[in-house]
Amino acid sequence: MSELILYLNIIRRNPIYLAGLVIVSLFVVVGLIAPYILTRPGDAWGLTYDINKRLSPPSLEHLFGTDEYGRDLFNRVLLGTRFSLVIGVGVVALSLAIGIPVGLIAGYVGGKAGTALMRVTDMFLAFPPLLLAIALAATFGRGLSNTILALSLSWWPWYSRLIYLQVSSVRNLPYVDAAKVIGISEARIMFRHVLPNSLTPVITQATLDIGSAILEASALSFLGIGVPPPTPEWGLLVSSGWRLISVAWWVSFFPGLAIVITVLGFNLLGDAVKELMDPRLRNLLSMRRV
Amino acid sequence: GLPGRPTTTTPTTTPTQRMIIYASLSEMTTADPSTEFSNSVMWLPLVYEPLLWYDPITDKFIPALATNYSSSIDGLVWTFTIRRDAVFHDGTPVTSHAVKLSIERTIALGQGAAFIWDPVESIETPDNYTVVFRLKYPAALDKIAATAYGAYIFSPKVVDYAGASNLTDPKVAEWFNRGNEAGSGPYKMIKWDPENEVVLEKFTDWWGWKLPDYPMKSDNAPDIFKIKIIKDAVTQETLLLSGGVDIAQYVPLENIEQHQRNPNLQVVFKPSFQNLIMLINVKKPPLDNVLVRRAIAHAIPFEDIVTVARSGLARVASGPVPHGMWGHFDNLTFKYNLSLARELLTQAGYPSGINRKLILTYTAGDIYEARTADLIKASLSQIGIEIEIRPLSWEEQWALAQKGWEDPNAAQDLLIFYWWPDVVSPFTYLYNMFHNASKVFNLCYYENPEFNALIEEAVTLEGIDEARALQLYYMAQKILYEDVPAVPLWDMIDLRVARAGIGNLDKAINPAYPTVVFAQVLDVRG
Amino acid sequence: MSEEKLLKVSELTIHYHTVEGIIKAVRNISLEVNVGDSLCIVGESGSGKSTLGLAISLSLPKNAVVVSGSILYKGRDLLKLKTSEVGRYRGKEISMIFQDPATTFNPLFTIGEHLTDILRHHFGMSREEALERAVELLKMVRLPDQARILHAYPHELSGGMLQRAAIAAALSTNPKILIADEPTTMLDVTTQAQILDLINSLKRELNLTLILITHNLGIAGEVCSRTAVMYAGTLLEEGPTEDIILNPLHPYTAKLIKAVPIITKTQGRLSHIPGVLPDLRNPPKGCPFVDRCELATPECSASQPEYFRVGGVRRVACILYGGEHE
Amino acid sequence: MRSLLEINELTKYFPVKTGLFGRVVGYVRAVDGVSFKISEGAVFALVGESGSGKTTILRCVLRLTEPTSGEILIEGRNVTQLRGKDLKWFRRNVQAVFQNPYLSLNPRMKVKDLIAEPLKTHTNVSKNEVYRKVAEVLALVGLPEIVANQYPPNLSGGQAQRVAIARALSIEPKLLLLDEPTSALDVSVQAQILNLLVELKEKLGLTYLLVTHDLSVVRYMSDYIAVMYLGKIMEIGTAEEIFSEPKHPYTLALLSSVPELNPQAKKLKKKIILPGEPPSPMNPPSGCRLSNRCPYATKECVTEEPKLTKITETHYVRCLRHEDLSSLITREA
Amino acid sequence: MPVPREYVVKRLLLLVFVVIGVLVITFVITRIIPARPEFLWAGPHATEEQLKRARQELHLDEPVHVQLYYYLLDFFRGNWGVSWRTRLPVLNDLLTALPATLELVIVAFLLASLIGIPLGIYSALRYGRIADQIIRVLTILGASVPVFWIALIFQTAIGIWAGVLPAGKRVDDYLAYITGFKPITGFYILDSIIQGNLPVFIDVLRHIIMPAFVLSIYPLSLSSRMSRSLMIEVLNENHVRSLEVWGVPQKTILFKYALRNVIVPVIASLGLSFGYTLVGAFMVELIFVWPGLGYYAGMSLLSYDYPAIIGVVILVALFYSLINLVVDLIHAWLDPRVRF
Ligand SMILES: Nc1ncnc2c1ncn2[C@@H]1O[C@H](COP(=O)(O)OP(=O)(O)OP(=O)(O)O)[C@@H](O)[C@H]1O
Ligand SMILES: Nc1ncnc2c1ncn2[C@@H]1O[C@H](COP(=O)(O)OP(=O)(O)OP(=O)(O)O)[C@@H](O)[C@H]1O
Ligand SMILES: [Mg+2]
Ligand SMILES: [Mg+2]
């Protein structure tokens, strides 16, 4: 707890990190309340349109302009936050749900089953990031849950490997030996002693990965294999504005900007966390020129 | 070279040449002038020539390899006089024998558009420059000889080039498909890389260049005409704007107005027989109720769809047969009227809307379908019908739709897709999509014996009693209007956008030869 | 007198700036080292020994701040050197070796590469000359099979061998002062004996001035003529090693010595020091040992005690010895 | 006194595999035919430098490693074959304290839960009873009660090691194995822990097996000592015998490698410094394992493997020249 | 440092394992996940007849392991199916498209490492100062930008509005035509050099620079951030401190010693960013009409050309594994500690 306060204090003092924290908090909050603060919910959900306002440039009435249906882009981008949040959290949570058990069993139980699990993990890791997701998404077809599933299935091995490495080192720590000597059951050792001490880096990494998951999902949408229209998913908005770019640059510009800012927020925060976790870098943080 | 490998001939030209790059939306696969029935039409009419060209707008014929022709009064004997100074690219003179052999090969192979020659009983060559056709039944052979597919004349020497025993030997087709040609047209093909580009070079010995008043030529025609395959409208536009291509087959329609104002660009429109239709699963509740179907039909904002999806470059459909085609009637449009739609739903027993999400599928990747679907969803939500849009690959969509014949509940509710004619007749529209013998494309699962009988009779009357046939087609379409197994949405208007400096573009485009740009009439200076 | 002092540290105070706060690692320390001296700095973990050593060798980490004091080397204040001058002292006049031989050398370079780079820089030798000299140096630190070792990467050598190579590297420039920061802590007992033996003989052979940092009083007894005892960043007492061990003046030193089990005799109970080290972010105002000292008086916590001279050669910072002011 | 722990010809070879195909290319002979007995109430010390196999023996006794061969008997029961109830009995009666207290305590559990864990595993007392017992044990090792609610990383080294000891002792074992229990600690803290261990042993009638390389700690604590080198016992005897009449050159070297605090004693002592590096345990030298580093080695020493020779009832040495050793040393001096 | 043969053999065996892994996973994706794989295989407008043939060709009526056997057999025989879109053998299509992608990716990759690594090191040396902060924010930004979006913006701003660089394609067709430029290797930069065709060479560079730069933004940021943090880490290592106290000049410590400590792990992780770049090329090629694998993949995705998609996935995964192998061997060669 005091650590957390310390971290927050450090972040507060560094404008870059603070920006990260603010962006991420804002993203989460907006993602949660977006459906309730829309001024034009029909436009946002794609249930209304206004032919007379097609492709109007940004103005006070339409901050981000309108799209080819005359829908207010600001509202669509705002609602897109919700979808990005769902995708980001969904992908990361599902990946953890697969990755943690696999990594834990492979790392702690070991043996033939463990080796086999790690080999399977390695096979998945043989695909460059996103490639496997593309193949899976193309097979599953478009849809929100299919997108989340495709991304998670290509994502979990990273967590599995991380947990595996963590567990393999933790299981050799003296406190695990000490627990065995005391006669504690294997299951209890695994869940009470090994798992909690292996989880922190994975959970931290996973939290920060939400940004990357959003980025990848938007790439799938752009390639036409992500969520289907008229979902106001940001990547899809950019993609549908692609063909309009020379008449209406705003249609793809603002959703793209939303992606950039959100992912930037996660990455800034990630950088902060990385520095905070590393005590050596932590000292340097407050370094004064000598 | 091998198929798929680009074959290149070193150009023998000087650097002062004029080149035009035409961006094509679709790649090509085959190149046999007798059987080609697909995208190679983009260049076939430049490299090969038929006997005549047809201009549907003025309803006139332009001489091609035939300088003139006549027909007997009963329409059963047609005589064509062949041009004396025409030579094939290999140097062989064009003669009546070459014409006879070319057309007979098409007939013998029986592929692609070979059916156009069905009326022909025999072809005779009284001398080197006269061809006589004898027909089994009366037909307009001039139109047939001018079709975009299946009417091209090529050098009989291809047998030797291919090392074949006769013209129908598959080796000849292979030779063509390897990227070889033996035409007589104004351009020679010098590169065949069917996935990326096809390059044509001016054939200097073409007879047309020497005729001062020939309408199908220009003194400033490009020396090189390159067809570049760029499968996407946005990219075509980008390249057009940045100078990478000169003529775009397609650009995003939203930008057309802007391009029209752009002094560096020109835009040319033309009609098209392609239309978009929404098929309704008439066997899946609640769509089995005709009132519900009518409600849906009246809740579709046709005008808005045309504006948004096609930026106005389409006409609201009136029946499944598109505008401008024989068999089209103007009073079959559904009125967009939400209160009527709500009323119909109430009558059908759904006063507060339908309590199930209807699944609407379309072919993924098509922006016009996507936007149409989007607006249909938006509009139907106004009358309490929720739509779930599912963009699918064509094969998935079709596979899903096929299930409907066995189990309508397993199939989609609504399906939108394009139709365009193979034979230009209302019959192809009405039979394929609505006759219950057509399981492949009747994806509304509509079964109506009365309707079937009407169109079956109409098609047989087409050549004998046009008026009666028209009447029957009207009755059939009226039935569809009442039963609403489908909602025809819009009929397409086609267009080309090009660099402003290219003269005669409108002349180079002819609706009878879709996608073709007749390069020889283009006027390119500087 | 002062001319003979090779090194004179006066009232040195060093802080570390960290996220958790300012750590006062070295406070107000004064020391003198003569040519040929061997001085041991003894103290428990965290007492600031390494910080002091790094300050003298001009290699403090970037987050260290010298708050006050001076380090006079041959009369010149090392803390006031310009950046361009640092190179003339570092390595050349004062060199250092460290605790963990496994991380002393860059793992991607051979031992020979390290040695020749030092030699070529300091003496402008050619590669061949430097290699020859490197072989001699390895011989000097009693490493066998010098050619092999020159071509070996650090991970291919044992800790003892690496520590010898480090000594060779540190001595390659003929420095006047060698600072050895716990050079044997990471080594095995028998290897430790070897290295101490080596340091002892090199000290004699090369007439080295040695500053040895250790937490093991026994090592001080083995190697150094004089010893300084540090506690919580301050210097508690200083004097000839033998005197300090046999007759510790400061209550802390006395307790520390009684806490060490002695191999030559069986003992009853070891004496131990109750309590814990003070927090260096916020050290006591007075004597740092005041909280753990049985003899403490209120006066002890009032202000930091001054050094008192005892018997001419000894200094101690404890008011028990008041009167004999320095 | 009967022996509590008896080890007979204990051997542990670790196979060394290549990365490729996992082929076994050799064995690390970590422990090679070690035998000794510990009688109840005694403190038995294993000393020797790093890699000599001390920890491996300990791990074999604790069943954390499967021995290659040999017997380990606790009160006559073969440890490696214990199952079920016997195993439970074994776990309750044999406990250990490791070198680094921070690493041997789960950083995410409160001290009270750490100490309660063995109690809950081995006794079925009520929850209240457990925490009362925890408080009792904490008092036993001299820790204030507030420590109970702290997490190990927030404790000082000495406190943490006390917690580890408390945890081991909470279920009142008979045998306590100590693997370098003080080498991670500062001198002043080390003294606290050593005193505590001695105190507890007397109070609770414990038996210790102590592993260390610090001879001064051994001197302070132990009754019996086994000196190990490369997996073999070189010399074994009572503390008195080993310290005052060492018979093996390696023992002598170890003794002289301890930096002597007393400057006067230092001057009197003859030092033996072993040259060279300890050889790889994968291929130890032939004959006597010390032969390549021993200043007194002869040709015989290289060819002939010495046996443990009895000197007194309790004192054994593995050296061909042990009889000449004292004369050799004096001659050199 | 010579790398032991056994290490090479081990890595090669690992590659075989990886290849089989890739194939097994793609097999699962094509055969097991879809409810009716023959539909995905037979393609658009397939007739009953064609579906039946597809079932036979895919051995769908046999047990799974037999299907897998034939799948592997087909793969090694070069029978990767026929594209629905181009109706040509997929492998053929892929090999035609490969050089264009490689050229683009290699240029992007060179940009990424040649700019990214020095930038990161510079940033580390200016730790905490303005320059460092700016570089940091920029590189974090670079890692946050969707490649397709930035590609669109560059293309519109530079290619269309400013018109400074071509907005797409690999070479100006007219120029290529009049100067008689012919692709030989498919790497246009190389081809223009071989033919001594300076105008085309310049034109090719003008065409490649924008897509390559856009593509390099992500790996550039990655390598810059990585070298920055590695440099900071290395400068805190004991061995840097010991060279310092031994009087080795800063320049030597930084640019000889520390630099290698940075470069070696960066190289070790280059494989990963090569993977990113390869997949990023999908979108960049699509936008810049670059007729490589990415363009092919993009087109195949748009038309759901299933055999082609899977073909691209397999080829890219194999290529990625190969690059990883090479990178690992280079790493082993540079770092004496990496063995087994
Ligand atoms: N770079 C640093 N940044 C911040 N604090 C530091 C740094 N180096 C040392 N310290 C702190 O300064 C204090 C003194 O450290 P120093 O290393 O000088 O002690 P030491 O006597 O050498 O201890 P040890 O015996 O453990 O080596 C300690 O509290 C330590 O945590
Ligand atoms: N799990 C293992 N696998 C392979 N070799 C091992 C293993 N554990 C120990 N060894 C080897 O066995 C030998 C003896 O190790 P052990 O830890 O028992 O020595 P030790 O006397 O306790 O040394 P230290 O004083 O360093 O703790 C060493 O060479 C060590 O490398
Ligand atoms: Mg230190
Ligand atoms: Mg050990």
Asked if A71 and A18 count as a contact pair (C-beta separation under 8 A), the reply is no
Q: What is the DSSP string of C200-240?
A: HHHHHHHT-EEEEEES-HHHHHHH-SEEEEEETTEEEEEEE
Q: Do chains D and C touch (3 or more CB pairs under 8 A)?
A: yes
Please, what are the domains in chain D? 3-81+174-332 (3.40.50.300)
Residue of B nearest to A226 (CA): B391
Query: Beta-strand (E) ranges in D48-185?
Result: 69-74, 77-78, 94-97, 175-179
> Does chain B reach chain C with at least 3 CB pairs under 8 Å?
no
Atom of ligand 2 nearest to the CA of D16: 4
Which one, of A219, A225, A220, A221, lies nearest residue A141 by Cα?
A225
Instruction: Flag whether pLDDT at E280 surpasses 60.
Output: yes
Residue whose CA is at the smallest distance from ligand 1 atom 2 = C16
For the segment C38-45, the average pLDDT, to the nearest whole number, is 92
Which among E236, E239, E245 has the least Cβ separation from residue C91?
E245
pLDDT value for D264: 66
Q: Which chain B residue lies closest to A45 (C-alpha atoms)? A: B378
CA A114/CA A104 separation, integer angstroms: 9
Tokens of D15: 């196979």
Length of chain A: 290
Q: Which domain holds residue A171?
A: 2-289
pLDDT of residue E203: 93
> pLDDT per residue over B234-267, tens digit each?
888 888 988 889 999 888 888 888 889 999 999 9
State the ligand closest to the CA atom of D56: 2
Note the Cα B253 to chain centre separation in Å: 19
SS3 state of residue B487: strand
| CA D280 to ligand 2: nearest atom | 29
pLDDT digits (tens, 9 = 90+) for B188-203: 999 998 878 899 999 9
A and E adjacent (3 or more CB pairs under 8 angstroms): yes
Domain count, chain A: 1
- Whether E297 and E101 have beta carbons less than 8 Å apart is answered as no
Q: Is A256 on the interface with E (CB under 8 A)?
A: yes
**Residue whose C-alpha is closest to residue E297's, from A219, C150, D103, A195:** A219
Beta bridge partners of C22: C17
Residues linked to residue D225 through DSSP beta bridges, in sequence order: D45, D237
Which of A170, A182, A188, A199 is the best substitution to test chain D (most D C-beta atoms within 10 A)?
Answer: A182
pLDDT tens over chain A, length 290 residues: 566 777 777 777 788 889 999 999 999 999 999 999 999 999 999 888 988 888 899 999 999 999 989 999 999 999 999 999 999 999 999 999 999 999 999 999 888 888 899 989 988 998 988 999 999 998 888 889 999 999 999 999 999 999 999 999 999 999 999 999 999 999 999 999 999 999 988 988 898 899 999 999 999 999 988 898 888 999 999 988 887 887 889 999 999 999 999 999 999 988 888 777 765 555 554 433 32
What is the pLDDT, as a whole number, of residue B241? 86
Average pLDDT of the residues in E298-312: 83
Give yes or no for residue C280 CB within 6 A of ligand 1.
Answer: yes
Q: Is the ipTM of this structure higher than 0.85?
A: no
Q: Which of E29, E133, E321 sits opposite A139 (nearest CB)?
A: E29
Subunits next to C (3 or more Cβ pairs <8 Å) are A, D, E
* Contacting residues of D for E6, CB less than 8 Å apart: 18-20
Return the structure tokens found at C221: 């007894």
Residue B31 corresponds to which tokens in the numbers above? 């190149």
Show the beta-strand stretches assigned E in B72-117: 77-82
- Rounded distance between C-alpha atoms, residue B164 and residue B175, angstroms: 9
Q: Cα B133 from chain centroid?
A: 28
Phi/psi at B333 (5° precision)? -80, 140
Q: What is the pLDDT of residues C103-151, one digit of tens each?
A: 999 999 999 999 999 999 999 999 999 999 999 999 999 998 899 999 9
Give the ligand at the shortest distance from the Cα of D16.
2
**C278-290: per-residue pLDDT in tens?**
888 888 888 999 8
All structural domains of chain E, each given as residue ranges with its CATH number in brackets, are: 1-85+304-340 (no CATH), 98-302 (1.10.3720)
Please give the pLDDT value at position D19. 60
CB-count exposure of residue B366 (10 Å: 0-12, 13-18, 19+): buried
Interface of C with E (CB under 8 A): 57-59, 61, 87, 90-92, 94-98, 100, 103-109, 114, 117-118, 121-122, 153, 155-156, 166, 169-170, 172-173
Residue in A with minimal Cα distance to B310 = A68
Indicate whether residue C42 lines ligand 1 (CB < 6 A): no
Worst-scoring range by mean pLDDT, A25-39, B344-358, C246-260, E20-34?
Answer: E20-34
Q: What is the CATH number of the domain that holds A79?
A: 1.10.3720.10
The answer to whether residue E333 scores a pLDDT higher than 70 is yes
Count CB pairs under 8 A between chains A and D: 60
Q: Whose CA is closest to E26, among B393, A145, A98, A127?
A: A127
Q: What is the pTM of this model?
A: 0.85
Work out the burial of residue C112: count CB atoms within 10 Å of its CB; fewer than 13 is exposed, 13-18 middle, 19 or more buried.
buried
Instruction: Mark the residues whose beta carbon lies below 5 A from ion ligand 3.
Output: C 50
Residues 96-135 of A with CB under 8 A from E: 119, 122-124, 126-132, 134-135
- All residues at 6 or more sequence positions from E55 whose CB lies less than 8 Å from its CB, including other chains: E38, E61
Can you say how many angstroms the Cα of residue B509 is from the centroid of all Cα atoms in its chain?
13
Question: Low-confidence residues of chain B, pLDDT below 50?
Answer: 1-15
Residue of A nearest to C20 (CA): A6
CA distance B267 to B260: 6
* C290 neighbors C304 (Cβ within 8 angstroms): no
D251 CB within 6 A, ligand 2: no
Which residues have CB under 8 Å from B421's CB, separation 6+?
A: B273, B325, B428, B429
Q: Which of the 8 DSSP states describes residue C103?
A: G
Amino acid at B357: K
In this structure, which amino acid lies at residue B510? N
The tokens describing A282, both together, are 């932590």
Share of chain D above pLDDT 70, in %: 95
Distance of CA D279 from the midpoint of ligand 2 (Å): 13
CB of C46 sitting under 6 A from ligand 1: yes
Q: Give me ligand 1 centre to Cα C236, in Å.
A: 18
E161 touches D at CB < 8 Å:
no
> Which protein residue's CA is at the shortest distance from atom 1 of ligand 2?
D14
Task: Of B214-223, C171-180, C266-275, E132-141, give the lowest mean pLDDT range.
Answer: C266-275
Q: What pLDDT does residue C2 have?
A: 44
E10: pLDDT strictly greater than 90: no
Q: Which helix (H) or strand (E) holds D37?
A: strand D24-39
Candidate from D100, D108, D122 with C-beta closest to A197 = D108
Q: CA-to-CA distance for A140 and E309, rounded, in angstroms? A: 13
Which residue, among B250, B257, B214, B206, has the nearest Cα to B232 in the 3D structure? B250
Distance CA B434, CA D140 (A): 93
Give pLDDT < 50 ranges for chain D: 333
**Residue owning the nearest CA to atom 1 of ligand 1:** C61
Give SS3 for A119: helix
Lookup: tokens for D283? 């291929």
Give the Å distance between the CA of D210 and the centre of ligand 4.
Answer: 11
φ/ψ bin of C95: left (φ > 0), alpha (ψ from -120 to 50), beta (otherwise): beta
Token code pair at residue B150: 């299946």
**Secondary structure percentages of chain E, helix, strand, coil, to 5:** 75, 0, 25
